[in-house]
Amino acid sequence: MHFKRLQKIAYGLDQINIAPLVNIFFLLLIFFVLTLMLAAKTGISVKLPKTLTTEAIKNESLTIIITSENVMYLDGKIMTMKALRHILNKKQNREHAILIKADRRASLGRIIDIWNLSRELGIQKINIASNQLE
């Protein structure tokens, strides 16, 4: 029986096997692409109306979203008019501006209801979001 006595320690790398490294990069690429595709579909879909002039809002504001089915959202939660009244009636919320993001097919009556509720509660800064015509 023959045993190897001493083996020299190899300093440095003789060769680098790059196949596992390439596999990891491809898996990461696929992971990020799928994550971005799935993350984009989870938001509330709103098609804003187009106007001739638009102005950017610089102040912090509460954003109320109205979908084409006239469903209201505040911070990603579905709201009723009663719940919206309760939230907007808080003192710290009365000092903020309100931004209404309404789908172009949303009912004008729903937008006016939110506008009237805001005025009734003493909120002075009310804005409606739109896109500029190209």
Alpha carbons within 13 A on the beta-carbon side of 84: 27
Two tokens, residue 121: 């509660």
CATH of the domain at 93: 3.30.420.270
Residue 62 has pLDDT above 80, yes or no: yes
Looking at the domain assignment, is residue 29 inside a domain?
no
Looking at the domain assignment, is residue 58 inside a domain?
yes
Quickly state the pLDDT bin for 66 (edges 50, 70, 90).
Answer: very high
* Residue whose pair of structure tokens reads 């903020």 in the numeric block: 96
Quickly state the pLDDT bin for 53 (edges 50, 70, 90).
Answer: low
Reported as a single tens digit per residue, the pLDDT across 23-36 is: 999 999 999 988 88
Give the predicted TM-score (pTM) of the model. 0.60
Looking at the domain assignment, is residue 43 inside a domain?
no
Total domains, the chain: 1
Range of the domain at 62: 50-132
